[in-house]
Amino acid sequence: MSSQIVTDARSALIELRDVAKIYRKGREEVRALDGIGLAVAEKGMVAIVGPSGSGKSSLLHIIGAMDRPTRGEVIVAGEPLNARPEAGLTSFRRKTVGFVFQSFNLIPNLSALENVMLPMEFDGVAGDERRRRANRLLDRVGLAARLGHRPRELSGGEQQRVAIARALANNPPLILADEPTGNLDSRTGQMIYELLKEIAGERTVLVVTHAEGLAQMADRILHLKDGKLVADDPSQGLKKQPVDRPGTTGSA
């Protein structure tokens, strides 16, 4: 077992200890994640990069309680997720994380406003308050004039901005974005990254990406390969820190 723990979990929003995710494909065992140890501080943008099949998305899904690890401990916002029942994970996803997907995943027959109101509805926010907050969020992402539009009436960039507004709906401390620019042209992708970067000023944003250039905008870059964390790289000229050195500070 490789135990690659980057510690300084004292102020960490996310803490992973020896996390593994193993799938079975017939008789074959696929180690999507293999002994991941990680601490991510509150606020800031962290990019997760690596080749296809390196476990980037699996890591994101486990941090977001979309999937359970085969082994290891996952603690987010002080809450250990492993022991939580399904209802507890639902409540966690509702309050603590906001997801941004590559293909936007908006509900097609709901307007932009209704899509943003949806997570608040699940959280029991009153109708008037939902509408007020959704209006404000869509205004923030520059879509104040597109409130009543359905997803098919919006461009890719606009849809992704609605998805970001939706992710912010319940004011979660953590935003998880899985290839958020994968379906966008580079200029629109840049705009989306700038928006995420701005959001990272007030909360933690974890972004899975293939785009090295965009990853460079993050405060920290995690390199994954074959399910292992192979490098933890503070970007913007900060010194690269190999993850296999115990005691290294890994907070962004």
Partner 1 sequence: MAAGKVSDMPIAGSVLRGMRNPFRSLSRALAVVLLLSLVIGFLALMVQATLASRQKITAMEGRVRTLIELREAGAFGTGGFGGDKPIGEEHFSVDTLENVLRIPSARHLARVDEYVYKPDIDPSRRNAYAMVIGLHPGAALRAIGEVDYENARIVAGRSLIPEDAKARVAVVGRLYAQQRLGIEETSGAAIAGRQLVLGGRPFQVIGVYATENDFGDNHVFVPIGTFRDIYHPGRKLSKIFVTVDSVANVETVVADLRQRLPEADVVTTPEAVSTARTTLGSLSVASAYAAVLLFAIGAVLIVFVMILSTRERIREIGTLKAIGASNAEVAVQFLAEAAALSGLGGLGAALLAAPLARILSRVLELPVAFDAQAMAFILTGSIAFAALGSLYPVIRGVRLSPIEAMRRIG
Phi and psi for 44 in degrees, rounded to 5? 110, 165
> Going by DSSP bridges, is the β-strand pair 97-100/174-178 parallel, antiparallel, or unpaired?
parallel
Q: In the bound complex, what is the minimum distance in angstroms from residue 152's beta carbon to partner 1?
A: 10
φ/ψ bin of 198: left (φ > 0), alpha (ψ from -120 to 50), beta (otherwise) = alpha
3-state helix, strand, coil in the chain (%, to 5): 35, 30, 40
Nearer to partner 1, 94 or 197 (CB): 94
Stretch that binds partner 1, among 28-36, 45-53, 96-104, 133-141 (CB under 8 A): 96-104
Compute the distance between CA of residue 57 and CA of residue 179 in angstroms, rounded to an integer.
9
Determine, following the binding rule CB under 8 A, whether residue 109 of this chain makes contact with partner 1.
yes
Position among 17, 56, 93, 220 found at the interface with partner 1 (CB under 8 A):
93
Determine, following the binding rule CB under 8 A, whether residue 131 of this chain makes contact with partner 1.
no
Do 46 and 222 contact (CB within 8 A), yes or no? yes
Given the structure tokens 């980057």, which residue do they identify?
6
Position among 28, 78, 85, 86 found at the interface with partner 1 (CB under 8 A):
86
Stretch that binds partner 1, among 101-109, 139-147, 216-224, 229-237 (CB under 8 A): 101-109
State the DSSP code for 219: S
Stretch that binds partner 1, among 27-35, 37-45, 59-67, 76-84 (CB under 8 A): 59-67
Nearer to partner 1, 63 or 217 (CB): 63
Determine, following the binding rule CB under 8 A, whether residue 133 of this chain makes contact with partner 1.
no
Stretch that binds partner 1, among 10-18, 42-50, 117-125, 195-203 (CB under 8 A): 117-125
Q: Which residues of 164-178 are buried (b: 16+ CB within 10 A; e: fewer)?
A: bbbbbbbebbbbbbb
Q: Which residues pair with 241 in a beta bridge?
A: 232
Nearer to partner 1, 176 or 192 (CB): 176
Determine, following the binding rule CB under 8 A, whether residue 79 of this chain makes contact with partner 1.
no
Given the structure tokens 């065992």, which residue do they identify?
29
| Packing angle, helices 156-167 and 127-140, rounded to 10 | 130
Interface residue list for partner 1 (CB under 8 A)? 61, 64, 66-68, 86-87, 90-91, 93-95, 98-99, 101, 105, 107-110, 118-119, 121-127, 129, 166, 170
